[in-house]
Amino acid sequence: MPRVTHLPAVVADAPLLAWLLPALAPMSRTKVKELLGRGGIAVNGVTVTQFNHPLTPGDRVTVGKPAVRDNSLAAGNLTIVHEDDAVIVLDKPAGLLTVATDAEKTDTAFARLSAHLEARTAGRPFVVHRLDRDTSGLLLFARTAAARDTLQAAWPELTKTYLAVVQGRPKHAEGRIENHLVEGKDFRVRVCDEGEPDAKLAISEYRVLNSAGRFSLVEVTLVTGRKHQIRVHMNGLRCPIIGDPLYGDADNPAGRLGLHAARLEFPHPTTGEPIRCESLLPAALRRVLGG
């Protein structure tokens, strides 16, 4: 028998115990509760013992004892920038996924935050948006489903500002890039005509903050938020982001992608009060610029 058994993906909201009973049939209710109580159930890689732990579509439930590892925020180089009863903002390092994929189901920002809240008996997080694995910076989670829904409904109006370390220097010190993007079967995003099937409008506003040698630091504010939008737009300026061979830069002077989610501004989903969170450019990227 395998050390860990993966159950079918969750397809509807449900309390954990109620979902487990049919999933583990014909195991008795008593045995299922015992399994939960002794830490034999994990949700998205995080051990859960609460019978009423809420499941949402896409959650992954496993039975068994996974290999022991430190699933803390600190071990994942994650820090909490802002926390209240409705939202949590994390500062995520490059190299860490936001949520699970088929290839990586356990070590994610979501799993580590879930473990952190579980240890405090403080509920569970709800995903509001995602950052690519190789992008560092600010990542927003909600504390309730209602807060998540409110934030996602207002997402186009939120201010999302990134810092990009690019090759060269854009011809113009500031500007607005507006075109249409489409994702190909190879998962690469490219510029396309407006009428092309699946074309999506993509708008970025940028300004050059400084240059050092072969590189420049560019501030980019997203008006729309398409997959790989900033990476494609910087390449379109003939200034690809460093460490991004997919979109034009084979050089990797920082040992990582030169993209960082630096500022996030949004109205609090409950009170409406403005929240502004910031994250400094990581040291690896500052060194490329001589800092």
Is 132 an active-site residue? Answer: yes
Q: How many CA atoms lie within 13 A of 165 on its CB side?
A: 28
Round to whole Å and give the CA distance between 113 and 104.
16
Residue closest to 203 by CA, chosen among 240, 232, 183: 232
Alpha-carbon distance of 70 to 86, in angstroms, equals 26
Return the biggest CA–CA distance within the chain. 69
Query: What three-state secondary structure class fits 28?
Result: coil
User: Catalytic residue among 70, 132, 134, 244, which?
Assistant: 132
For 174, list phi and psi in degrees, rounded to 5: -155, 160
Tell me the CA distances in angstroms from 213 to 216, 260, 288, one per residue in order.
Answer: 8, 20, 9
Element (H, E) at 177: strand 174-183
Determine whether 187 is exposed, middle or buried from the number of CB atoms within 10 Å of its CB (0-12, 13-18, 19+): exposed
Strand partners, 79: 91
Which residue is associated with the tokens 């200034």? 239
Residues carrying an active site annotation: 132
